[in-house]
C-alpha cells in the first residue's frame, strides 16, 4: 500500500536552498486574558522546504492552530520573524492569498449553495483557479455537483472544504485536521489526493491527530507542546534512536514484565531458555510513531514540571 | 494492492503570473451581491420574517380593520384614513429596520461564527468586496420591499401616492439614510455578539420592540410618554414620522408631538446613528474574526 518514497539526498539539497516557503524564527504569540497571560506560541523556530509535506503534531491547545493561523496571515505574531512565500503574511497583499490555500478545521458555511456553485464562487476570487469539474472529481464528489452543501454527509462536507482550499491552485496548502470525520476508505482516497499534490510540487503543511496519517503523508514531522517545537524529524527518525529501542514484554508468576533492549532476540532466547520454554504473553514490539509521540510528550511534561 | 485511483490535478505549470495581479474590488462586489441574493432567496425564514414581513403585516392590518376610513379623529369624519393609508408609512419604516438591522445582524453574526468570513479572508477577496455584496443585498431587499408595499398599497388597497417630486425626494433620503444607519448598527451588533445563537435571537428583538413603541403598529400619540421618549432616541420613530409627512394628508401633523413633522430631527437622529454605527463597526469588525 505504501507509495510515499523519500529520497534523503534531495532532502539535503532542499535544506540548503534559501527559498524555503516557510521560515519562522523566534515566533511568540501571547494572549492577555482575564485569567492571566497565555503563551500560545513560545519562541518557536520552524522551516518548511519547497515541495515538502510537513506535519505539525501536538495535543489540543498546544499552539498548532495558532501557529498555522499566523502562517496563513490570520493572526498577528506578538514577536519573532515569520516569512511565508517571501512575504510577511499578516495583512499581506491579496496576491499572497492567491498563492496559498487553506482548508479550515471546521466550517458550516455556504449551506444554501450547491457544491459547484460554492466552488465557482470561490474560484472567481483567484487569478488562476483550478477547473471546478476537475476538482470535484479529484475529491470524489462526482454526481453531487448540484446538491446543496447543507444536505451532504459530514465526510462529503469535509471534501467540499478540501476542494474549496484547492480551488485557487495554491503553491502552499494548509490543512488543519483535514480527515476528521472521514471513513477509512475516504481517508485513503484523500491521502492519494495529497500525494498527487505533493508530486506536483505543492508545499503542504498539515495538522493531524492521526499518527498513521502523519506517517503516511509527511516528509517531516514537528511536535508542538506548550507552544514550543519539542521534536522534529522524518517519520523514521523522530525522537531519536533511544525512543526506538524495541520492547520485550512477557508474564510469569511474579507478574507482567517489560524491558527495553537493543538485543531483543538475545533476551527472548534467555527468557525461553534457548527456545525450550514458552514465556507467557511474549511480545517483541518496535515502538510505533504513536508510542514515540506519546513518549516525547510525556518526557517534555516531566521536564516542564522539574523546571518549574 | 492500491484500490483507489490517484486523482489527477493540474500542477504548478498551470500557475500563471502572480506578482502584478490585483483583485477587482468592484467586480467582485457585484459577484458577491448576486451570490448573497441567491443565498438569501434560499432561506425561507429570511423570506418570511425579513423580506415579506411588512407586506404580510399590511395585509393583516387591512384584514383586521377593514378598508373603510376608520383611523383618526371620529369627530372630523372628513379627515379619517383607511387602515392601508394609515399603516403604509409605518410598514415602509419597518422595512428599513428589517432590511438593514435584522438582515445584517443575523447574517454577519452567523458568518462570523460558521467559518464563512474566515474562509473568505483566506482568499484574495478584498473585505470591501464582501461589504459591497452586503450593501448590494440590502439595497435589493429594501427596494423590493418598498416596491411591493407601494404597488400593493396603490393597486390592492387603492391608496393615493404622493405626486410631487419633493415628497419622493424626502422619501428617498429617509429610506436610504435609515436603511444605511440600521445596516451599520446591525453589523456592529453582529461584531459584539458572543455566539450565533444569541445574535440570531437578539437580532429579532429590537425590530419587534421598537416597532411597538415607534408608532409603526399604533398611532405614536397613543404611546405612553416614557416609551415614546425611548423611541425618540432611535431612528425607527423618526423614519416612521418622516414617512407620515410624505404619505399622510395635510393636517395630520397635528397628531405628532409639537404638532409638526420635524424632518430636521429625523435627519439628525438617523445621521447620528449612521455615524456611531459606522465607527463601532470599523472598530469591532475583524477580517477574519479573532477568538
Q: Which of A6-10, A29-33, B97-101 has the lowest mean pLDDT?
A: A6-10
pLDDT tens-digit readout, B133-149: 999 999 999 999 999 99
Chain B CB contacts of A100 below 8 Å:
122
Q: How many helices (H) and strands (E) does chain B have?
A: 13, 0
**Helix, strand or coil, per DSSP, at residue B77:** helix
Residue A12: how many other CB atoms lie within 10 Å = 9
Which residues in chain A have their CB less than 8 angstroms from residue B15's CB? 128, 169, 171
Band (pLDDT 50/70/90 cuts) for residue B3 is very low
Q: Coil, helix or strand for A39? A: strand
Which of residues 75 through 134 in chain A touch B, CB cutoff 8 A? 75, 94-95, 97-100, 102, 104, 106-110, 112-113, 117, 121-122, 124-128, 130-131, 134
A to B CB pairs, distance under 8 Å: 131
Q: In terms of DSSP H, where are the helices of B42-102? A: 44-46, 53-65, 83-97
Measured between beta carbons, the chain A residues lying within 8 angstroms of B114 are 107-109
Q: State the average pLDDT for chain A.
A: 87
The 10s digit of each residue's pLDDT in A103-120 is 987 778 888 999 999 999
Nearest to A292 by CA among A228, A214, A217: A214
- How distant is the Cα of B175 from the closest Cα of chain A, in angstroms? 29
Q: Give, for A251, the enclosing helix (H) or strand (E).
A: strand A247-252
Is pLDDT of A3 > 70? Answer: no
Task: Quote the pLDDT of residue A12.
Answer: 40
Q: Does the distance separating the beta carbons of B3 and A75 come in below 8 Å?
A: no
Task: Out of B11-25, B34-48, B187-201, give the one with best mean pLDDT.
Answer: B34-48
pLDDT tens-digit map of B115-138 = 899 999 999 999 999 999 999 999
DSSP string, A210-227: -HHHHHHH-SEEEEEETT
A15, pLDDT greater than 50: no
Distance from CA of B290 to the nearest CA of A (A): 8
To the nearest whole angstrom, how far is the Cα of A9 from the nearest Cα of chain B? Answer: 23
Residues of B in contact with A131 (CB under 8 A): 10
Query: Chain-wide mean pLDDT for chain B?
Result: 87
Q: How close B15 gets to chain A, by Cα (Å)?
A: 6
For residue A242, pLDDT over 90 is answered with: no
Q: CA B44, B49, B52 angle in degrees (round to 5)?
A: 85
Judged by a CB distance cut-off of 8 A, whether residue A164 touches chain B is: yes
| Cell 522534529 -> residue | A232
Under 8 Å CB-to-CB from B246, ≥6 apart: which residues?
B89, B162, B167, B168, B170, B171, B174
Nearest residue to B132 (alpha-carbon basis) of B29, B38, B231, B203:
B29
Q: Mind giving me the DSSP string for B200-267?
A: HHHTTHHHHHHHHHTTSSS-GGGS-HHHHHHHTTSHHHHHHHHHHHHHSPTTGGGGSGGGS--HHHHH
Amino acid at each position: 500500500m505504501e507509495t510515499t518514497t523519500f529520497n534523503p539526498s534531495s532532502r539535503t539539497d532542499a535544506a540548503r536552498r534559501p527559498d524555503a516557503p516557510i521560515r519562522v524564527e523566534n515566533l511568540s504569540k501571547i494572549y492577555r486574558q482575564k485569567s492571566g497571560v497565555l503563551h500560545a506560541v513560545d519562541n518557536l523556530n520552524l522551516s518548511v522546504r519547497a515541495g515538502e509535506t510537513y506535519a505539525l503534531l501536538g495535543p489540543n491547545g498546544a499552539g498548532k492552530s495558532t501557529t498555522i493561523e499566523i502562517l496563513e496571515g490570520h493572526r498577528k505574531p506578538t514577536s519573532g520573524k515569520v516569512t511565508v512565500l517571501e512575504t510577511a503574511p499578516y495583512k499581506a497583499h491579496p496576491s499572497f492569498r492567491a498563492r496559498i490555500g487553506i482548508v479550515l478545521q471546521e466550517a458550516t458555511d455556504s449551506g444554501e449553495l450547491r457544491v459547484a456553485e460554492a466552488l465557482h464562487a470561490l474560484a472567481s476570487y483567484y487569478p488562476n483557479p483550478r477547473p471546478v469539474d476537475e476538482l470535484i472529481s479529484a475529491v470524489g464528489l462526482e454526481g453531487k455537483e448540484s446538491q446543496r452543501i447543507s444536505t451532504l454527509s459530514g465526510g462529503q462536507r469535509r471534501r467540499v472544504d478540501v476542494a474549496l482550499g484547492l480551488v485557487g491552485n495554491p503553491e502552499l496548502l494548509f490543512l488543519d485536521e483535514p480527515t476528521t470525520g472521514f471513513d477509512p476508505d475516504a481517508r485513503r482516497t484523500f491521502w492519494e489526493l495529497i500525494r498527487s499534490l505533493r508530486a506536483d510540487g505543492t508545499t503542504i503543511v498539515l495538522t493531524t491527530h492521526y499518527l498513521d496519517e502523519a506517517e503516511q503523508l509527511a516528509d517531516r514531522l514537528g511536535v508542538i507542546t506548550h507552544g514550543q517545537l519539542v521534536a522534529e524529524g522524518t517519520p523514521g527518525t523522530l525522537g531519536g534512536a533511544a525512543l526506538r529501542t524495541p520492547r520485550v514484554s512477557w508474564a510469569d508468576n511474579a507478574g507482567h514484565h517489560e524491558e527495553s533492549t537493543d538485543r531483543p532476540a538475545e533476551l527472548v532466547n534467555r527468557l525461553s531458555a534457548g527456545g525450550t520454554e514458552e514465556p507467557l504473553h511474549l511480545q517483541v514490539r518496535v515502538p510505533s510513531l504513536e508510542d514515540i509521540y506519546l513518549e516525547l510528550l510525556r518526557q517534555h511534561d516531566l521536564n516542564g514540571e522539574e523546571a518549574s | 494492492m492500491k484500490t483507489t485511483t490517484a486523482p489527477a490535478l493540474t500542477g504548478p505549470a498551470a500557475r500563471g503570473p502572480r506578482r502584478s495581479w490585483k483583485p477587482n474590488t468592484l467586480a467582485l462586489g457585484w459577484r458577491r451581491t448576486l451570490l448573497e441574493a441567491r443565498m438569501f432567496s434560499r432561506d425561507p425564514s429570511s423570506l418570511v420574517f425579513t423580506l415579506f414581513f411588512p407586506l404580510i403585516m399590511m395585509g393583516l392590518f387591512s384584514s383586521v380593520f377593514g378598508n373603510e376610513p376608520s383611523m383618526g379623529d371620529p369627530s372630523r369624519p372628513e379627515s379619517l384614513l383607511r387602515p392601508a393609508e394609515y399603516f403604509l408609512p409605518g410598514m415602509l419604516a419597518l422595512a428599513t429596520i428589517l432590511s438593514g438591522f435584522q438582515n445584517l445582524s443575523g447574517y454577519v453574526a452567523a458568518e462570523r461564527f460558521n467559518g464563512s468570513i474566515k474562509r473568505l479572508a483566506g482568499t484574495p477577496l478584498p473585505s470591501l468586496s464582501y461589504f459591497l455584496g452586503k450593501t448590494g443585498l440590502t439595497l435589493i431587499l429594501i427596494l423590493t420591499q418598498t416596491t411591493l408595499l407601494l404597488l400593493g398599497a396603490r393597486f390592492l388597497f387603492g391608496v393615493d401616492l404622493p405626486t410631487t417630486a419633493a415628497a419622493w425626494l424626502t422619501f428617498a433620503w429617509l429610506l436610504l439614510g435609515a436603511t444605511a444607519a440600521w445596516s451599520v448598527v446591525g453589523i456592529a451588533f453582529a461584531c459584539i455578539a458572543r455566539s450565533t445563537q444569541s445574535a440570531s435571537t437578539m437580532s429579532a428583538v429590537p425590530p419587534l420592540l421598537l416597532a411597538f413603541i415607534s408608532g409603526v403598529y399604533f398611532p405614536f400619540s397613543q404611546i405612553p410618554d416614557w416609551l415614546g421618549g425611548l423611541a425618540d432616541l432611535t431612528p425607527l420613530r423618526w423614519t416612521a414620522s418622516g414617512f407620515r409627512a410624505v404619505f399622510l394628508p395635510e393636517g395630520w401633523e397635528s397628531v405628532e408631538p409639537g404638532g409638526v413633522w420635524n424632518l430636521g430631527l429625523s435627519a439628525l437622529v438617523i445621521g447620528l446613528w449612521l455615524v456611531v454605527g459606522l465607527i463601532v463597526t470599523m472598530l469591532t469588525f475583524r477580517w477574519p474574526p479573532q477568538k
